[in-house]
């Protein structure tokens, strides 16, 4: 930040210094008298230009105009040129009065102000255009960097998810559960193979999309929990509280799946008597709210330092900026809540 401010002040001094030199060059070319008063006038022009444009810069930063698209900035930039030029003219005339410079042409105040606004307007236009397009290019560059970070994070998440799904322990548990069902319940065994296939297929496709409809993500979670139910049997209780209007809302792929896996691994899997996993999806205050409740307690594996939880925060930040939110907390004795809030897309 300090380095950028240094560049800004160097550009300010350099740019308005060139304006002062152009005025001096004009006087030399047309053989006007370069008196001490004339040099003071040039200094006033330079100082007024720096002050007025710096005030404009602070205004642009506070109103976040620089974040707006070009089509919304055209009229605003035009108004900024006019207002800043008027401010510049007032500063110049105020300095003239302060230092008692003589009004050689005996013009009234409004005429002198109008003349100064026209004279300086030709310098304000390139200043504002350069300042705006510098930040426009900088914003585009940051967006490209964020996009690359997101792609890298999604790929890393995909690799981690695939690894967790196809590791021998997971495959052993799933296949063991299916094998036990083959004679006892052949139809359930066939369904379990389909569920396992859906999970693996979804994890391999995670890198291709930034978001998927919530319904698709929910179906994968249901397949995963159905497989885990075969393993845990009565130790696992599953509940869903889903508002059907949320099914078409976009969510990052495998994000809910990650939270549910976390709930099984660090919650249900560590409870001798098992417990409950409840998935909630609803709208709340212009947000799509996703909640995973599970029996268990927070510990070193669930304090946000693990890959799954930290990647959830990072992906939400990259996709939605500060508009989305994620938290995990102990809401009751023996009950943990993971909550995601995603801004609702207006249609």
> Which of the listed residues 144, 176, 193 is the one where a domain comes to its end?
144
pLDDT of residue 137: 82
pLDDT tens digits along 68-100: 777 777 788 888 888 888 888 888 888 888 877
Task: Mark whether 338 and 246 lie in a shared domain.
Answer: yes
Angle at 188 between CA 185 and CA 194, to 5 degrees: 145
> Do residues 56 and 176 both lie within one domain?
no
Specify if 151 maps to a domain.
Answer: no
* Mean pLDDT estimate for the chain: 79
Residue 246 lies in a domain: yes
Q: How confident is the model at residue 33 (pLDDT cuts 50, 70, 90)?
A: confident
Do 333 and 312 meet the contact criterion of CB atoms below 8 Å apart?
no
Q: Mean pLDDT across the stretch 286-305?
A: 77
Distance separating alpha carbons of residues 206 and 223, to the nearest angstrom = 16
pLDDT given for residue 212 in this prediction: 86
CATH of the domain at 274: 3.30.565.10
Same domain, 140 and 172: no
Q: Which residue has the higher pLDDT, 337 or 141?
A: 337
Domain shared by 94 and 187, yes or no: no
Claim to verify: residue 134 and residue 252 sit in the same structural domain? no
Pairing of strands 212-213, 250-251: antiparallel
Q: Is the dihedral of CA 133, 138, 144, 147 positive or negative?
A: negative
What total of structural domains would you count in the chain? 2
Query: DSSP letters of 27-89?
Result: HHHTT----HHHHHHHHHHHHHHHHHHHHHHHHHHHHTGGGS-HHHHHHHHHHHHHHHHHHHH
In a domain, 159, yes or no: no
User: Above 90 in pLDDT, residue 334?
Assistant: no
Shared-domain flag, residues 140 and 171? no
Q: Do 97 and 219 reside in the same domain of the chain?
A: no
For the segment 216-243, the average pLDDT, to the nearest whole number, is 87
Asked if 222 and 85 sit in the same domain, the reply is no
On whether both 134 and 244 belong to a single domain, the answer is no
Residue 154 in domain: no
Half-sphere exposure at residue 164, Cβ-oriented, CA atoms within 13 angstroms: 16
List, for residues 138-188, the tens digit of each pLDDT value: 877 877 887 777 777 776 665 455 445 444 455 666 677 777 667 677 787
18 domain residue, yes or no? yes
Question: Considering the domain boundaries, does residue 205 fall inside one?
Answer: yes
Both 54 and 12 in one domain: the answer is yes
197 and 88, same structural domain? no
240 contacts: CB under 8 Å, gap ≥ 6 = 222, 278, 279, 280
Q: What is the pLDDT of residue 322?
A: 80
Give the model's pLDDT for residue 108: 74
Is residue 322 one of the residues assigned to a domain?
yes
Sole residue written with tokens 């030709």: 122
Rounded average pLDDT over 6-25: 84
Residue span of the structural domain in which 187 resides = 167-343
Determine the Cα–Cα distance for residues 182 and 188; give it in Å rounded to an integer. Answer: 8
Quick one: pLDDT at residue 172? 67
Range 10-18, long-range pairs (CB < 8 A, 24+ positions): 12/50, 12/53, 12/54, 13/50, 15/127, 16/45, 16/46, 16/49, 16/50, 17/46
Report helix, strand or coil for 100: coil
Flag the least confident range among 18-22, 26-30, 80-84. Answer: 26-30
> What is the mean predicted confidence (pLDDT) over 203-225?
78
Inform me whether the pLDDT recorded for 245 exceeds 80: yes
Residue 161 lies in a domain: no
**Cβ-contact 295, 333 below 8 angstroms:** no
Same domain (yes/no): 109, 236: no
SS3 198: helix
Distance, CA of 165 to CA of 157 (rounded, Å)? 12
């Amino acid at each position: 930040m300090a380095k950028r401010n240094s560049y800004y002040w160097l550009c300010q001094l350099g740019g308005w210094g060139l304006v002062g030199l152009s005025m001096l060059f004009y006087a030399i070319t047309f053989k006007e008298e370069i008196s001490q008063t004339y040099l003071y006038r040039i200094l006033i022009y330079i100082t007024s230009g720096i002050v007025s444009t710096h005030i404009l810069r602070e205004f642009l930063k506070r109103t976040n105009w620089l974040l707006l698209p070009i089509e919304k900035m055209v009229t605003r930039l035009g108004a900024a040129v006019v207002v800043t030029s008027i401010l510049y003219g007032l500063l110049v005339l105020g300095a003239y009065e302060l230092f008692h410079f003589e009004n050689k042409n005996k013009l009234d105040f409004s005429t002198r102000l109008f003349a100064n606004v026209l004279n300086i307007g030709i310098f304000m236009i390139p200043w504002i255009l350069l300042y705006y397009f510098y930040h426009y290019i900088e914003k585009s560059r940051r967006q490209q960097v964020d996009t690359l970070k997101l792609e890298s994070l999604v790929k890393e998440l995909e690799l981690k998810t695939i690894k967790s799904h196809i590791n021998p322990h997971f495959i052993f548990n799933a296949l063991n559960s299916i094998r036990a069902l083959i004679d006892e319940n052949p139809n359930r065994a066939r369904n379990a193979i389909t569920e396992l296939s859906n999970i693996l297929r979804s994890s391999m496709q995670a890198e291709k999309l930034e978001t998927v409809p919530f319904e698709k993500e929910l179906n994968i979670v249901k397949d995963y929990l159905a497989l885990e139910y075969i393993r845990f049997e009565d130790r696992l209780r599953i509940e869903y509280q889903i508002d059907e209007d949320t099914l078409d809302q976009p969510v990052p792929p495998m994000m809910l799946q990650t939270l549910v896996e976390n709930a099984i691994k660090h919650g249900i899997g560590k409870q001798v008597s098992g417990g409950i996993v409840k998935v909630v999806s609803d709208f709340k205050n212009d947000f799509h709210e996703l909640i995973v409740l599970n029996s268990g307690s927070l510990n070193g594996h669930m304090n946000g330092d693990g890959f799954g939880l930290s990647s959830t925060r990072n992906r939400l930040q990259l996709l939605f900026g500060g508009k989305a939110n994620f938290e995990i907390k102990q809401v009751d004795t023996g009950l943990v809540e993971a909550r995601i809030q995603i801004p609702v897309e207006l249609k």
